[in-house]
Chain A
Amino acid sequence: MNNFWLALLGMTCITFFCRFCFFSKTVPFELGPKVKRVLSYTAPSVMTAMWVPIVFLGHQGSSGDFITSPFLIAGIATVAFSLLMKNTLAVVVFGMSIFGLLTFFF
């Protein structure tokens, strides 16, 4: 990664800009209700766009099949468990344990 330092600097500036933007006294405008509503879907959308390919396409990295993929089975189990348990840490521990057991035994 030859351009690492440029990438690091750029990403640091971008993330800080997004966090600081509306704290700045030189930004006179407020976000309109429509923009706020669009932005409120960013977090669920971006996270889903990251976890869904891991669960449904995770089998491609190994030689396993789609149906027997530990990514798929543990992913679906985690979704089911997250509907029952609202505790984030418990859901993560549960999902990791299922995944660990599946990769260990199969």
Chain B
Amino acid sequence: MSSPRSRIAAHIRDIPRSGIRDFFDIVSTMKDIISLGIGEPDFDTPWHIREAAIAALERGSTSYTSNLGLLSLRQAIARYGERVFNIHYKPENEILVTVGVSEALDLALRAIIEPGDEILYHEPCYVSYAPVVIFAHGKPVAVETRAEDGFRLTRAQLEAKVTPRTKALLLNFPNNPTGAILEPHDLREIADFAIQHDLIVLSDDIYAELTYDGRHTTIASLPGMKERCIFLHGFSKAWAMTGFRMAYACSTPELIEAMMKIHQYTMLCASIISQEASVEALTDADADVEEMRAEYHRRRNFLHNSFKEMGLPCHQPRGAFYAFPYIGHFGLTSKEFALRFLDAEKVAVVPGTAFGECGEGFIRCAYATGMEDLQEAMRRLARFIHSLQPNARPQPNAC
């Protein structure tokens, strides 16, 4: 009989354990820590959105919905897209409601990848991108973004990695873990690159509402992009609805139909209760989103100014709720730094390497945590780096 391990499909077996999970196992055994390692909002879902979910239950809305999602929700998504992002999708056949952007991304990749197709994505990035490409029998090709560019992605970097097998490009700006954004002219360059190489662009815009120096532009809104773009967005971050598991994909009828084929046989539909709550989120929660965004903005300023005061190089995060300071000059790896900081000061941060090898030398500090905890965490971080006696000056180009 074959060994238990050999029964696992090789392409799954070969995926390494997530670095974040290793770290989670250590942190979860500890008491009374302040965690800057949490990638979800600390706010509760706005009460009127929760009320909408309660009302849905009271009404007896407990059934399946259309595979695409409730029409009323798809209509609300279409209106929101026009109002906020200047993107235009038909509720009838260009929008698919999914269980989180994670599912939408999986559907999109499975819908487009032939075995061996290459998918370009930028690192440091959200932990799931390379694995989901591999699940779909594609080949993930990482493009490293750098601190000195503010972790922006450039056309030159992409040109260096594109091959005739490249099928698609996966974007996530505002970015987890760096807080980087792309300016409209960066997006135009990337759009031209995608058109020239005939690539599909999967745009994960989950942090779209959370920008601090101007409003977000999605690549899907650029001329010539609608027909080759899959716009992915959801409610987890800006509406603080992680547990509702609600997201959506917008694209051409052909791509949505292909994604829906997989969705209908694997998921059937997203929870109707979450869908009803999401209609409320899209139609009547702009003020709530703005209030949370303003709070993240203040926290972003607080962290960035605190890093400056303690001499820690950090590019200015311009979106999402993460800062990604450089700690490489202390002579420790990211993981060593995070473990020693946790041990000495009971504060959890995530080693940059959890988000790709080029995250070495950085730590991710999430500011989806209350101001009091952030203030205490910064006091402890200042004390900790003081105790390390840096044996090197910060690299000037790391900031």
Indicate whether A and B interact: no
